[in-house]
Chain A
Amino acid sequence: GAVVSQHPSRVICKSGTSVKIECRSLDFQATTMFWYRQFPKQSLMLMATSNEGSKATYEQGVEKDKFLINHASLTLSTLTVTSAHPEDSSFYICSAVIRPGGDYGYTFGSGTRLTVV
């Protein structure tokens, strides 16, 4: 089945540094990737939609300059948290739309736990 590999699974960084999270589609081409943020015991909040070869579309209230999204190829999308602060600590999950043979659904990465100290 369609698999999205997300790395790293956990990262601890110092306040003020940047962190890059990668999501790779292993056996399919992901033209559209979604990035979500999840706070403890809460739902997934969509941060942005990235389409291969074009600029990402950010949801209202999400800082474009803080959360840089790049979708340069059909198999790789990255989220860079720039100048991270403790309030950016969260669980980040990527997702891709899959449409195999007329079916329709989503596949999710395993998530990245970011802790900013």
Chain B
Amino acid sequence: AQSVTQLDSQVPVFEEAPVELRCNYSSSVSVYLFWYVQYPNQGLQLLLKYLSGSTLVESINGFEAEFNKSQTSFHLRKPSVHISDTAEYFCAVSGGSNYKLTFGKGTLLTVNP
């Protein structure tokens, strides 16, 4: 069985401030980790993912996440946020042969001017 814990349900920040959205997982098998972003009434868009190799992964819009196996974490960071980053962010984990993707409860990031 696998699970994901997103410790913060809401994170309000001011524009141009740094932000970290926390994610911890548990799994009995090797994992693949994902961060998705969801805008209201839309599907999910992939931000970044960790499959193997370098533990630091980056997205094209300035987000990055680091896979930490010892702490079973995959926190998402951005050094300077924009108003347009306001959205719901979901951390997810998959592993095993059934490809099931398990989501955390999500973190609402609100960027204020």
Contact = CB atoms under 8 A, between A and B. Distances in A.
Interface in A71-89: none
B98 A91 contact: no
Interface string B78-113: 000000000000100010001111111110100000
A109 B44 CA distance: 8
A32 B100 CA distance: 10
Nearest to B98: A49
Contact of A6 (B43, B94, B101, B108): B43
Contacts of B45: 108
**Interface band, chain B:** 20 to 34
A91 B94 CA distance: 22
Contact of B101 (A41, A95, A110): A95
Contacts of A105: 34, 46, 49
A111 B100 contact: no
Contacts of B105: 42-43
Q: Is the interface of B mostly helix, strand, loop or mixed?
A: strand
A43 B99 contact: no
Interface in A1-18: 6
Q: Is the interface of A mostly helix, strand, loop or mixed?
A: strand
Nearest to B36: A108
A41 B106 CA distance: 9
Contacts of B102: 46
A109 B43 contact: yes
Interface of A: 6, 32, 34, 41-44, 46, 49, 91, 93, 95, 97, 103-106, 108-111, 113
Top 10 A-B residue pairs of the complex, sorted by shortest distance between their CB atoms: A108-B43, A110-B43, A108-B44, A43-B105, A43-B103, A97-B99, A111-B43, A44-B103, A43-B106, A109-B43
